[in-house]
Amino acid sequence: MRCRKCHAEIPDESNFCLVCGVKQKVTQNTKSRGNGTGSVYKRGRTWTAVRVLGYMTDENGKIHKTTRSKSGFKTKKEALEYLPQLTSKARKKMLNWAAMYDAWKPTHRAGKSTMDCYAAAEKYFRPIWPMAFDQIDIDDLQECIDDCPKGKRTRENMKALAGLLYKYAIPRHMASLNLGQYLIVGGGETADRAALPDDAVEAIRTAVGSVPFADYVLCQCYLGFRPSELLALDAKNYNRQERAFVGGAKTDAGRDRVVTVSPRIQPIVDRLVQDKTSGPVFCGPDSSPMSLVQYRDEFYRVLDACGVENPMEGPEGAQRHRYTPHSCRHTFATLMKRAPGADKDKLELIGHTSNEMLRHYQDVSFEDLRKITDAL
């Protein structure tokens, strides 16, 4: 046989070349498990099984790895056999929408321009970023699309992105149905239909004081904030002298907008901010922050207690209620249509995106805003 390096003649079955000393037989390591199935390592006298669940990007752009592990195994074999249990169930509980996006992004093969479009669309899912992926329903997704201040192309990208995330999640047992396929990209043509009727608003007003959280729902109808914005309102951002909130989502249209309080809900607001200098205005029973999921559940309980019919509509598996927490925002828009006032002032109150340049170049006063909310 010949040396694999210097090609010198050497005896058959030689382990090393007698001329250059190079080892002749090279053993290649082969992986017994595929990528993503986890790994094991020895620490002290015991073995640990570990699996990467995903990656999250914080506000500073730094990427953090999320893992799940179990230690204490006496042998390597025991640790390897346990790896399959560190799978989908744990990931399903831990991954929120933002983490799911971060986990999906490296797996998707597309050009830079396409990925930039998805990144731009992802920003408008901000209200559901912290929500556990398995707790997000069709209403949450649709409301993000309805609230998107951009044009139809961005909304279409949002729908496409949602579909891709669910396609990534389903085979990993983190979702059972692709909700993205049921999203409607159409802008605001459903706003009037989604608004609460007058008799429903009156029933909710009557229930304040007797039905838990009816006051929250009524306030949202007269403040016009998105559900996530309502729950984020802080007492320190309430101007008691002007009786107005400063709040809103961090978008070009709704960032830190001024919303004056209607006399119809002023007593409720006064009670909620009483003795508060900071902290959430609309909070849970124990004064802790209320999640979107909690508020949505309470919203449906209020409507049920008030006798408001709220049937399920849509295809099987992706049905949604006719009225959702976002309907309160549509209700506010409907009430404003009936009230006198300049369009620029109404745009300021609702944080709408039409005529953004009008908001930029014209001043808005507390007096002008109050004329509208006083007339609701």
- Residue-by-residue pLDDT tens, the chain, 376 positions: 888 888 888 888 888 888 888 888 765 554 555 566 778 888 888 898 887 766 655 555 566 666 778 888 889 988 888 887 775 545 555 578 998 999 999 999 999 999 999 999 999 998 888 888 887 888 788 888 887 878 889 999 999 999 999 999 988 878 888 999 989 887 544 434 578 999 999 999 999 999 999 999 999 999 988 888 898 899 998 999 889 998 765 444 445 678 889 999 999 999 999 988 889 999 988 888 888 878 988 999 999 999 999 887 766 656 677 888 888 988 888 888 877 776 666 666 766 544 443 333 234 456 656 676 777 7
Tell the residue number behind the tokens 């990993």, with chain if given: 172
> How is 283-339 classified by DSSP, letter by letter?
B-TTSSBPPHHHHHHHHHHHHHHTT----EESSTTS-EESS-TTHHHHHHHHHHHHS
Residue 267: closest CA among 209, 192, 341, 325: 209
pTM: 0.59
* Tokens standing for residue 142: 């649709």
d(CA 39, CA 321): 45
Specify whether the CB–CB gap between 226 and 251 falls below 8 A: no
Rounded Cα gap, residues 117 and 111, in angstroms: 10
- For 55, the enclosing helix (H) or strand (E) is strand 46-57
